[in-house]
Amino acid sequence: MNEKQAAAGFAAMGADHRLGVLRHLVKAGEAGLLVHEIVGKSGIAASTMAHHLKTLRDAGVILQKKQGRSTVSIANYARLEALAGYILAECCVAENG
Nearest to 58 by CA among 3, 8, 24: 8
**pLDDT bucket at 78, cuts 50 / 70 / 90:** very high
Q: How confident is the model at residue 90 (pLDDT cuts 50, 70, 90)?
A: confident
* Model confidence band, residue 93 (pLDDT cutoffs 50, 70, 90): confident
Domains (range + CATH), the chain: 3-86 (1.10.10.10)
Give 65-68 contacts, CB < 8 A, sequence gap 24+: 65/32, 67/34
Give 70's strand partners: 67
Write out pLDDT tens, residues 20-56.
999 999 999 999 999 999 999 999 999 899 999 999 9
pLDDT given at position 92: 84
Mean pLDDT of 55-63: 97
